[in-house]
Amino acid sequence: MATTVIVKVGTNTLVDEAGGVRKGVVRDILTSIQDAAGRGISIVLVTSGAVRLGSISTGDVNLNRSTAASIGEPILFRHYASEAEKLHILLAEFLLTRSSLVQRQEFSGLQKTFEDLFARGIIPVVNENDALVADIGGSFGDNDSLASALAIALHAEELVIVSHIDGLFDRDPAKEHGAKLIGIVNDVNNELFKFSSRGVSTGGRGGMLSKLKAARLCTAVGIKTCIVNGLVSGNLARILSGEAVGTTFTPRPFTKALTARDRWLLAAKNSAGSLLIDDGAVSALRNSKSLLAVGVRGVYGEFQAKEIIEVVDGMRRGIAFGIVDYSREEIEAMLREGTTSGKQLIHANNMIVLE
């Protein structure tokens, strides 16, 4: 089976401070992908930038996201297409919403279309359809989440997040002198919990939270995840050649074969939320039981009912992912009021227990 890699490029990587598209960066990205494709690697390019370009083109910084995206999307793709034509690369454009993955039939159709494009050597370029779903329930929220969902849906071996920073730092490099780059992360939860427990927004530490969420989900099911600085020419090519650049999140050993339903469940919806459970609950999940509220010892992150959250043990190791039946606020109220008896939080049929 051919290697599949998802490459996600951020807005600040593509668009400079003056609002211009960095054509050299676009060329470097496409050249790197072309070289990798020549070695038999199938690549999906997930790109941000449409909202920023739409706002800039109208001169209205207060333009709503939906309108800005509808204006900026053709501008964004035109820049990619222009450079691709010079390189004799054929691109295919996709504007996705979460419903493309939530609806099983659409999910299966999307997989087949990508497989056909890969077979023909055509590079899919994907963005969220913000013109339709910006800031509503059908939104992924960010392209990091979209990229991680596609990585799982398409059986990818690796997710590469191309950013305007070098990777994950131990402190905010923009605010604290002496911040050090973390080259390898073996446990994403340790980093994610620092954000969740302090209630840091998705913009915290240079927008790193959304990247950590993506890395957590992917590495939990055996997908290597990297963050690399796309403003440094050749960085993406080095990553795609197997070199260690930026920050690498090592995948957990994962020998279980994910079923089509497992992939759909993981890709369809996920949040930054986590439930910390006791040893008894861990044992129950290992024995294919549902998660009951009585086994919960902590609630982290924000999530609503019917979203996918992670379940972690006392060492903060990921145990399972599942569709939760209650919101964070409702579960916290149960714990606070002592009304957990008999309350099922995640049914066994809606959960994937990790090895």
Helix axes 104-119, 143-153, angle to 10 degrees: 80
Instruction: Provide the residue-wise pLDDT of the chain in tens; the chain has 355 residues.
Output: 469 999 999 999 999 988 899 999 999 999 999 999 999 999 999 999 999 999 999 988 888 889 999 999 999 999 999 999 999 999 999 998 877 776 778 888 888 999 999 999 999 999 998 888 776 656 777 899 899 989 988 889 999 999 999 998 887 777 778 888 999 998 887 776 665 444 333 332 337 888 888 898 888 888 999 999 999 999 999 999 999 999 999 987 766 677 777 777 777 655 668 899 999 999 999 999 999 999 999 998 888 898 888 898 988 777 888 889 999 999 999 999 998 888 999 999 888 887 6
CA distance 257 to 5: 19
**Domains, in order of start, for the chain:** 4-249 (3.40.1160.10), 271-353 (2.30.130.10)
Handedness of CA 231, 237, 243, 247 (dihedral sign): positive
What does the pLDDT read at residue 193?
60
What does the pLDDT read at residue 205?
31
What does the pLDDT read at residue 153?
85
Q: Which helix (H) or strand (E) holds 284?
A: helix 279-286
Q: Are strands 224-229 and 158-163 parallel, antiparallel or unpaired?
A: parallel
What does the pLDDT read at residue 256?
65
